[in-house]
A and B are shown apart, each in its own frame.
Chain A
Amino acid sequence: MNTRKETLSRIGDWLDDRLGLAAVGELARKKDVPQHRHSVWYYLGGMTLFLFLVQVATGILLLFYYRPSAEDAYESIQFLMAEVEFGWLVRSIHAWSANLMIFTAFLHMFSVLLLKAYRAPREITWISGVALLGLAMGFGFTGYLLPWNELAYFATRVGTNIMEAIPLIGGFAGHVLKGGEDVTGATLTRFYAIHVAVLPMISALLLGLHLYLVQKHGMSVPPGVEREQGSRPSMPFVPNFLLRDLVGWLTALAILAILAAYFPFELGEKADPFAPAPIGIKPEWYFMFMFQTLKYLPAHLLWIEGEVVGILGFLVAGLLLLILPFLDRRSARGESSRLFTWIGVALIVYVLVLTFLGYTASPTQ
């Protein structure tokens, strides 16, 4: 027994000499998480990270069978789902965890926004987080086309057409992204490359930065809690908070398993570029509020096309969201910032209402 312990200890020492594991362990032991009435929101970041890791793992498994061409893509997914052992499970979990990840990422962003966790010195943490959400949506947009089915094909056509309406760069960017004038096999291979190489690489870098900054600055305490008198309790990150995180992750895993078994992602019909577009083509739910907004805009606002105004509006809104920590000066000084709280609430209501309308209003409205 002692010999075994000694062996393990020697291996640990050997690794510590080379990797500095003791310093990492020390860091983990020292890390505390504040405890207050809003602590529950702290778990969303970890949940999003867990779902991202599920994405990476299932994505790699899908790569073993997926063939990125207009001729083979649909058939390769069909084969994966019908013939490969647990292929259906891997694909369904990949698709469901993608949706759940974007959902938790949105929740995470809105909780940070309302709790003013973006204020100094966490401006770059916020910016990297918003950028990561944008990347997640990019993953969704590019991944949606990969099965090369009818809905994905026409939704991508609509999506890329909207993108092309961006003044100055839209036409060029759309052409580069599509690999031509229309969505074809060339678009599929480009989306594939972006989905499995470009976006993961950028995401890995940004995620590393985001996690480093979270570690460096610790968890933000909301200004309202900070202003309260008295001692503020906290819990050790390891093992107390981590164990709670694990409970959340396991719950997410159980939800994913149930969704995959009872609501497997359908493959639909293979894309036919010559077929008429099905009625009521809709984008993925996380693009719905933007899509619906564009539908409500009139053909022209003054002398500019309504669609162009809408797209420019979203670009400006995205930019303002990105630089939010620099706009909210009151929060930065630790003062109450009701204006930005209401802006955050208005944003959430807007996204919810427009998304609801997107699924309930007539396709022609």
Chain B
Amino acid sequence: MIALRHVSCASLLLVGGLAVPVLAQQSQESCVTCHGSFSDARLGGPVRAYTEDVHAAKGFGCVACHGGDALDLGMTAMDPAKGYVGVPGREELLLVCGRCHSSAGFMRRYNPALRVDQVAEYRTSVHGELLLERGDERVATCVDCHPAHAVKPPSEPTSSVHPLNVAETCGRCHADRDYMQSYAISTDQHDKYLLSIHWEKLSVEGDLGAPTCNDCHGNHGASPPGVTWVGNVCGQCHSVMAELFNKSRHSQVFAMLGNPGCATCHGNHEIKPAGDEMLGIGEGSVCGMCHAPTDAGGMAAAEMRSLVDSLKFAHAVADSLLSKAENAGMEVSQAQFELSGATTALINARTGVHSFAVDHVREAVDEGVEVALSAQARGRSALGDLRFRRLGLAVSVGIILILIAGLVFKIRQLEPAKARQT
């Protein structure tokens, strides 16, 4: 039945001469003349919305997708013999959109940087599989994410696929409990994502490179990451952590236990900022979820936490001393620059935790502590200099005051009070 639908759809498009990409048209179409006059949203809405569509900007008209004869002013313009396809069906959309978007030769004339594998990817997605193999027309297809007649590029802030709008676009279905009921998947991803550090980076800090739904799940080929390759998804950005994790024993153990890699400790949609409290076996630690304080893993976790804390403390002391000296007007910028080496070491130590090897963490911590101690010494020296300066100032001003008093005395000697008054 599904195969039959494919064939009939393709035949219709072939008959209509739409199997090859169409060229942009500049002239006014008869479709716009009639449909533009309809106040009805269904008939007139598309014409009004289309004025802001990226395809309209490139010069494509209605017939590019709907077929028909744009020069015919009568109802015969919508004659199937003239290639008119009307409103494409859910599955037909792949052919309608893919006709241009899957053709590298055609697309390079309009947007050479745009990929042409969207339809191919879509066929591999959960959406595509459900639509094409099970005939489930409730799943998302092209126009659900790129609204027909109002398609805008992702760079456009009002676009449904702009990074700031992607979560809302996906959430329109995935956060709708009633709509998603038959799929037996949770609907809290959207709400959880809005609590994550990724959304905070994106929405508060305006970092458009921060991940949203499609960055982890893929966009046209959307599907949930597999348990064994979650790390590859996170590793797109967190590459060093992912590499260390993949080499670690935990990578294999997690896979055996069916734990989803990074998400085991960090969660998936509601990813909170990673903090040192996650390390160790105390309250709030994630290691403690599996390890006991007395087992080898628990002791290693506690030791790693202790190492990281020691570097953090040394760094904080150095930073405080240098800030105090700087606020007092001492020149400590070189020492502050050198302390950034300890900051880097702290980052390396925290990253090194993903190797789950104490020695790896210790190496970074030792390096950082050495730098921090050197900065502490420079901070103390600067504060010592400051005390010396103030003491020197007091002595100098004292000497100057004595000299001034001597001069005043001398003037009084030279000019007795009576003479000064005259």
Q: Which residues of B contact A247 (CB under 8 A)?
A: 404, 407-408, 411
Q: How many whole Å from A299's CB to the nearest CB in chain B?
A: 33
Q: How many whole Å from A182's CB to the nearest CB in chain B?
A: 26
- In the complex, the chain B residue whose C-beta lies closest to that of A261 is B393
A240-259 CB contact bits vs B (8 Å, 1 = yes)? 10011011001101100110
Interface residues of A in 74-93 (CB under 8 A from B): 78, 81-82, 88-89
**Segment among B84-92, B120-128, B230-238, B326-334 that sits at the interface with chain A:** B326-334
Q: How far is the CA of A78 from the CA of B338 in the complex (A)?
A: 14
- In the complex, the chain B residue whose C-beta lies closest to that of A251 is B404
Q: Which residues of B contact A266 (CB under 8 A)?
A: 329
A78 touches which one: B333, B393, B400 (CB < 8 A)? B333
Q: How many whole Å from A263's CB to the nearest CB in chain B?
A: 7
A240 touches which one: B397, B400, B415 (CB < 8 A)? B415
Q: How far is the CA of A258 from the CA of B331 in the complex (A)?
A: 17
Q: Which residues of A contact B397 (CB under 8 A)?
A: 254, 257-258
Whether B331 and A257, one on each chain, are in contact in the complex, defined by CB atoms closer than 8 angstroms, is no
Known: A239-B414, A243-B410, A243-B411. A88 touches B331 (CB 8 A): yes
Total number of residue pairs linking A and B with CB closer than 8 Å:
60
| B195 interface residue per 8 A CB criterion | no
- In the complex, the chain B residue whose C-beta lies closest to that of A266 is B329
B331 touches which one: A81, A243, A254, A263 (CB < 8 A)? A81
| A276 interface residue per 8 A CB criterion | no
Q: Which residues of B contact A274 (CB under 8 A)?
A: none
Whether A262 and B329, one on each chain, are in contact in the complex, defined by CB atoms closer than 8 angstroms, is yes
Q: How far is the CA of A82 from the CA of B329 in the complex (A)?
A: 11
| B26 interface residue per 8 A CB criterion | no
| B51 interface residue per 8 A CB criterion | no
Whether A263 and B414, one on each chain, are in contact in the complex, defined by CB atoms closer than 8 angstroms, is no
Whether A257 and B400, one on each chain, are in contact in the complex, defined by CB atoms closer than 8 angstroms, is yes
Whether A240 and B333, one on each chain, are in contact in the complex, defined by CB atoms closer than 8 angstroms, is no
Q: How far is the CA of A233 from the CA of B419 in the complex (A)?
A: 10
Whether A250 and B403, one on each chain, are in contact in the complex, defined by CB atoms closer than 8 angstroms, is yes
Q: How far is the CA of A155 from the CA of B335 in the complex (A)?
A: 28
Q: How far is the CA of A250 from the CA of B402 in the complex (A)?
A: 10
Q: Which residues of A contact B332 (CB under 8 A)?
A: 82
Whether A243 and B414, one on each chain, are in contact in the complex, defined by CB atoms closer than 8 angstroms, is yes
B334 touches which one: A78, A244, A246, A253 (CB < 8 A)? A78
Q: How far is the CA of A81 from the CA of B393 in the complex (A)?
A: 17
B385-418 CB contact bits vs A (8 Å, 1 = yes)? 0000110110011001101100110110011000
Q: Which residues of B contact A257 (CB under 8 A)?
A: 393, 396-397, 400
Q: Which residues of A contact B182 (CB under 8 A)?
A: none
| B27 interface residue per 8 A CB criterion | no
B414 touches which one: A240, A253, A258 (CB < 8 A)? A240
| A264 interface residue per 8 A CB criterion | yes
Whether A261 and B392, one on each chain, are in contact in the complex, defined by CB atoms closer than 8 angstroms, is yes
| Chain B interface residue number, banded | 20 to 34
| B422 interface residue per 8 A CB criterion | yes
Whether A82 and B334, one on each chain, are in contact in the complex, defined by CB atoms closer than 8 angstroms, is yes
Q: How many whole Å from B381's CB to the nearest CB in chain A?
A: 10
Q: How many whole Å from A252's CB to the nearest CB in chain B?
A: 10
| A124 interface residue per 8 A CB criterion | no
- In the complex, the chain A residue whose C-beta lies closest to that of B335 is A82
- In the complex, the chain B residue whose C-beta lies closest to that of A235 is B415
Whether B331 and A250, one on each chain, are in contact in the complex, defined by CB atoms closer than 8 angstroms, is no
Q: How far is the CA of A247 from the CA of B404 in the complex (A)?
A: 5
Whether B331 and A244, one on each chain, are in contact in the complex, defined by CB atoms closer than 8 angstroms, is no
- In the complex, the chain A residue whose C-beta lies closest to that of B396 is A257
Whether B389 and A261, one on each chain, are in contact in the complex, defined by CB atoms closer than 8 angstroms, is yes
Q: How far is the CA of A80 from the CA of B414 in the complex (A)?
A: 45
Q: How many whole Å from B413's CB to the nearest CB in chain A?
A: 10
Q: Which of B333, B392, B422 has the most CB of A within 10 A?
A: B333
Known: A82-B332, A243-B411, A244-B411. A250 touches B404 (CB 8 A): yes
- In the complex, the chain B residue whose C-beta lies closest to that of A89 is B389
| A267 interface residue per 8 A CB criterion | yes
A170-193 CB contact bits vs B (8 Å, 1 = yes)? 000000000000000000000000
Q: How far is the CA of A301 from the CA of B397 in the complex (A)?
A: 54
Q: How far is the CA of A105 from the CA of B420 in the complex (A)?
A: 28
Q: How many whole Å from B188's CB to the nearest CB in chain A?
A: 42
A274-311 CB contact bits vs B (8 Å, 1 = yes)? 00000000000000000000000000000000000000
- In the complex, the chain A residue whose C-beta lies closest to that of B386 is A261
Q: Which residues of B contact A78 (CB under 8 A)?
A: 331, 333-334
Q: Which residues of A contact B335 (CB under 8 A)?
A: 82
Whether B393 and A250, one on each chain, are in contact in the complex, defined by CB atoms closer than 8 angstroms, is no
A267 touches which one: B333, B404, B414 (CB < 8 A)? B333
Q: How far is the CA of A363 from the CA of B233 in the complex (A)?
A: 47
A254 touches which one: B389, B401, B422 (CB < 8 A)? B401
A120-143 CB contact bits vs B (8 Å, 1 = yes)? 000000000000000000000000
Q: How far is the CA of A362 from the CA of B392 in the complex (A)?
A: 40
Whether B333 and A246, one on each chain, are in contact in the complex, defined by CB atoms closer than 8 angstroms, is no
Known: A240-B414, A247-B404, A250-B400. A82 touches B331 (CB 8 A): yes
- In the complex, the chain A residue whose C-beta lies closest to that of B397 is A254
- In the complex, the chain A residue whose C-beta lies closest to that of B405 is A247
Q: Which of B331, B332, B403 has the most CB of A within 10 A?
A: B331
Q: Which residues of A contact B404 (CB under 8 A)?
A: 247, 250-251
Q: Which residues of A contact B393 (CB under 8 A)?
A: 257-258, 261-262
B44-67 CB contact bits vs A (8 Å, 1 = yes)? 000000000000000000000000
Given contacts A250-B404, A262-B393, A264-B331, 10 further A-B contacts (CB under 8 A): A78-B331, A88-B330, A233-B422, A243-B411, A247-B404, A247-B411, A254-B397, A257-B400, A266-B329, A267-B331
Q: List 10 A-B contacts (CB under 8 A).
A: A78-B331, A78-B334, A82-B332, A82-B334, A88-B331, A233-B422, A251-B400, A254-B400, A261-B392, A267-B331
Going nearest first, the 4 A-B pairs with the smallest beta carbon separation are A81-B331, A264-B329, A261-B393, A82-B331
Task: List A residues at the B interface (Cβ < 8 Å).
Answer: 78, 81-82, 88-89, 233, 235, 239-240, 243-244, 246-247, 250-251, 253-254, 257-258, 261-264, 266-267
